[in-house]
Amino acid sequence: MNTEQKIKQLREDINQHNYQYYVLDKPSVSDYEFDMLIEQLLDLEKKHPEFFDATSPSHRVGGQITKEFKTVAHEYPMLSLSNSYSKEDLQDFDERVRKGLGINHSDLLNTPVAYVCELKFDGLSISLTYKQGVLVQALTRGDGVQGDDVTNNVKTIRSIPLQLKNDFSDFFEIRGEVFLSHRMFEKINKEREEIGEPPLANPRNAASGTMKMQDSSAVAKRRLDCYLYYMIGKTLPTASHSQNLEKAKTWGFKISPHTKVCYSIQQVFDFIDYWNTERHHLPFDIDGIVIKVNDYAQQQQLGYTAKSPRWAIAYKFKAEQASTLLENISYQVGRTGAITPVANLKPVSLAGTIVKRASLHNADIIEKLDVRVGDWVFVEKGGEIIPKIIGVDRNKRTAHSAPTQYITHCPECGALLRRQEDEAQHYCINENHCAPQIKGKIEHFVSRKAMNIDSLGAETIEQLYNQNLIRNIADIYELKKEQLLPLERMAEKSIANLLEGIEQSKKIPFERVLYAIGIRHVGETTAKKIARKIKTIEALMRASQEELLQIDEVGEVIAQSIASFFSVEENKQIISRLIQKGLQFEISNEQAQESSDILQGKTFVISGVFSKHSRDELKDLIEKNGGKNTGSISGKTNYLLAGDNMGPEKLKKAEKLGVVLLSEDDFLKWIKK
């Protein structure tokens, strides 16, 4: 098998594994085996760019930057659906449909109309265009007439096929909903907490925000999902909506298995009643049921109003609420010192679970709702994973009730709380002597994406803290075998593994160490860009705010956070101890030799296929030498790094704006200087 055949076979195998896992939910290989296939394909494609294919599954890892999302008109408007909140509304809808189809009044109840009932996914509407079986465009709903082109980001969603299979139609649109599963939503919020960011409110907003991220590689990491639910075009395979969905499934699309054709309004009611309860067992959010006339000819006959189709309607579930007693308010302290008020409730059944706690978010929410201890409160679990208080039953409020006074000092260490003018949360400023913050910082420091000391888990950290063996991240490197032996669950082998993991962590490169030390707002990607630009921790500690603002992705908030971190003498002492223990606090010689400031202040756009390097390698070289990558040409673009088969529109725009065209050879000669 030659190289081209090997690449083709890998692509086919990976596409099939993707389909098995993300569409059929029947994994055919382990995660490790799948990752190895991806790595193998990426390596071969980098070495052989002549075999470039826009539909390769390697594009799902992302990497393209979109600074501005182009607005594109929908060929077919994406109208919203009329909403209903009662069965009476649906009966009226059924009667309007029958009359619109010309069914005589005497036959209204006897002539069946086939309806398709579908789950109403709570996410972001998307329209995908396929030409000759290839995904060519993805648009958001926007205002219904035009939407944003998010094709690069959509390509990272593994349940959306880049290339169709079997006997697909030549040209059509298919519409669906992009969403986040509960599991991924919880994972994202955990990661946000690690870098000191407030948690996202709900999966719907998170999915929408993710789709508008500028870096498609960041979108890929969030593992969005997508169900498709409506095909539209001039030449569709069948005249039935339900049959077209079945056909789309054979082409590789992820179609919800929870879809049913109903032949009476009573069957529609039965479907609604079933999912009103069962929705709580789904791994994603739905907020209702969509009812559509199944026959396309009947849809056309019924037509549209100015805002919505007459042949479809959305039944919205009522957000489940309960009333219960607010027994007290407690306050949690996060790793970054963020204070979160929590309502402790008299246990109440809500949405299939017993609710005892609800987030109150911050002082502003408490003041807005006027929530008080002893109140009877209304709790809702709608689109939120965590129950929230939405109001107070003031009729039950006692005469001696007093407004809630938000705490002024940390509930853990007693330190004064601080609140910045532009922030909603209060923070404990005693970051190095507050137990939850200390343990949280250590857990972040040893995590997989940071120092990767996997034998040092949360329970072990708690034990070491309670035994006064660690009080900061530098103490980890002072641990001795004789200190660990007396502790519970600490045998010779586990101690050896722990100490070996600590020793191996000294080889972790500077960019990950910088992320690990836990500067607020400095995430994994930002740490990498800072490390490449500043190169040593000493230089970073000396850097002015103006110098920091020159770094890509570093704005005023991050720059101030870095300055604030290094203004604390205790933080500087911890860094000094870590340097003495041999951690990597500067870019390695190998990395330093590959980098320079020769491209400082220069902005590049890469387009086309290259012979000596892949596009990702060229982007890396640009960043290592001080330049900046963008995905689209604008007046701020200095150079267009042009390869073979470059897009004609980019070339035309570059010439119009006076952007300098640069060949791969000329670029490589430039940076070698």
Q: Residue 480: is it exposed, middle or buried by C-beta count within 10 angstroms (0-12/13-18/19+)?
A: exposed
Q: Helices 458-466 & 435-446, crossing angle to 10 degrees?
A: 140
Element spanning 667, H or E: helix 664-672
DSSP 3-state assignment of 381? strand
DSSP 3-state assignment of 408? coil
Residue 120 among the catalytic residues? yes
Q: Are strands 353-359 and 339-350 parallel, antiparallel or unpaired?
A: antiparallel
CA angle 130, 133, 134 (to 5 degrees): 65
CB neighbour list of residue 334: distance below 8 Å, 6 or more residues apart = 193, 196, 340, 436, 437, 440
Instruction: Give 145's Cβ-side CA count (13 Å radius).
Output: 2
Q: Which of 120, 155, 292, 439 is catalytic?
A: 120
What's the distance, Cα to Cα, between the start and end of the chain in Å? Answer: 40
The neighbouring-strand residues paired with 341 are 331
Distance between CA atoms of 296 and 242, rounded to whole angstroms?
10
CA angle 186, 189, 190 (to 5 degrees): 85
Q: The tokens 């190289």 sit on which residue?
A: 3
Spell 105-136 as b/e; 16+ CB within 10 A means b.
eeeeeeeebbbbbbbbbbbbbbbbbbeebebe
- The DSSP-derived string for 421-441 is TT-SS-EES-TTS-HHHHHHH
CA angle 345, 355, 352 (to 5 degrees): 155
Instruction: Give 344's Cβ-side CA count (13 Å radius).
Output: 6
CB neighbour list of residue 459: distance below 8 Å, 6 or more residues apart = none
Q: Cite the DSSP H helix spans in 505-662.
A: 510-516, 524-534, 537-542, 545-549, 556-566, 569-580, 589-593, 615-624, 648-657
Distance between CA atoms of 60 and 154, rounded to whole angstroms?
9
DSSP 3-state assignment of 547? helix
Instruction: Give 196's Cβ-side CA count (13 Å radius).
Output: 24
Residues designated as active site: 120
